[in-house]
Amino acid sequence: MFDDREISTFVQGTTRYFEVSAQQPATVGSPYLVTHGDPEISEFTGVINVSGRRTGVVYFTAPRGMLIVMLMKMNESDVSHQNLCDLVGEVANTISGNARRDFGRDFAISAPEIVAGHSKHVPSPAGCRPIVIPINWRSHSAKLVVCLQ
């Protein structure tokens, strides 16, 4: 199970990403533990598999509208499906990469895997209970999900 310092690493990485890349800070809600099933995901999800000292997944999930506004804030006019997939993967990869810097070499991360569509889900590793970190940016809501053993 994570301690407050470890959760704080992901919260700080998330707020830093939005301040720098989206040029506007996000607010982060209180992290909560999912006790039954897997967290719901939005239309686009970037999944990072983690191995080493910790194993599991970290993923960022956001609705199409939020990603479109983020691209426009980044002066990107191409809001194609592929660019939305690239962006959600970049967010997950950047946040996980920042955590890797804090946790050290034994926190190995994969390239992002993209899941598109509401009917999809990201399974939690057996025996792991996900922690959801709610993210609010402008009028949009997203989630960072951390499920590590």
Q: How confident is the model at residue 2 (pLDDT cuts 50, 70, 90)?
A: low
CATH of the domain at 135: 3.40.1550.10
60-81 burial: b if 16+ Cβ within 10 Å, else e: bbbebebbbbbbeeeeeeebee
Contact 46, 114 (CB under 8 A): yes
Number of domains composing the chain: 1
Q: pLDDT value at position 145? A: 93
The parent domain of residue 60 ranges over 4-148
DSSP-H helix ranges across the chain: 4-20, 64-73, 81-103
> How many of the other CB atoms lie within 10 Å of CB of 143?
20
In the predicted model, is pLDDT for residue 3 greater than 70?
no
Q: pLDDT value at position 33? A: 92
> Which pLDDT tens digit goes with each residue over 82-141?
999 999 999 999 888 888 888 888 888 889 999 998 767 787 788 888 999 999 999 999
Q: pLDDT value at position 1? A: 56
For the CA atoms of 71, 74, 77, 81, what is the dihedral angle to 10 degrees? -30
DSSP 137: E
Mean residue pLDDT of the chain comes to 89
In the predicted model, is pLDDT for residue 46 greater than 80?
yes
Q: pLDDT value at position 106? A: 83
What average pLDDT score do residues 44-62 get? 90
